[in-house]
Amino acid sequence: MSLLLDTHAFLWWLNGGPMQPAAMERISDPRVLVAVSAVSVWEIGIKRAIGKLRFDGSLASAVGQGGFDSLAISAEHAERAGDLPRHHRDPFDRMLVAQAQVENLTIVSRDEQFAAYDVSVLPC
């Protein structure tokens, strides 16, 4: 199982936030590919710029230092996100769903709205 961290899961991992033991075990397993999407970096950057979130340092560096793979947004991801049913209104989360579908990744998240999509979710 390869993983895609939802934005909150990425932040919780970096900051020692509350996570389910099963999710922590999978994320820390060196045999498991764990990705962070460029859309999460973008979302954190926007929230940091408007004062809704504090994050010191480089987000891109934090991805690498966390041992995660960076997942770029492709045209195929963008097309899939645009075609998704409107179960979720958050465009960042819709992109995560599209990326998980295209790349066959399991999303690590507490967002219950992901269950409405054809995507695997590991609760965190």
State how far the Cα of 29 lies from the Cα of 33, in Å rounded to an integer.
Answer: 9
Q: Are strands 106-109 and 121-123 parallel, antiparallel or unpaired?
A: parallel
Query: What stretches of 78-120 adopt beta strand conformation (E)?
Result: 106-109
Taking only the tens of pLDDT, the chain with its 124 residues reads 899 999 999 999 998 888 999 999 999 999 999 999 999 999 999 999 999 988 888 989 999 998 999 999 999 999 999 999 988 788 999 999 999 999 999 999 999 999 999 999 999 9
State how far the Cα of 11 lies from the Cα of 20, in Å rounded to an integer.
Answer: 14
Q: Please report, for the chain, the start and end positions of each structural domain, with discontinuous segments joined by +.
A: 3-123
SS3 of residue 67 by DSSP: coil
- The single residue listed with the structure tokens 């909150």 is 8
Predicted TM-score (pTM) of the model is 0.93
**Contacts (Cβ under 8 Å, ≥6 apart) of 48:** 54, 55
**Would you identify the CATH topology of the domain 3-123?**
Rossmann fold (3.40.50)
The C-alpha R_g of the chain, in whole angstroms, comes to 14
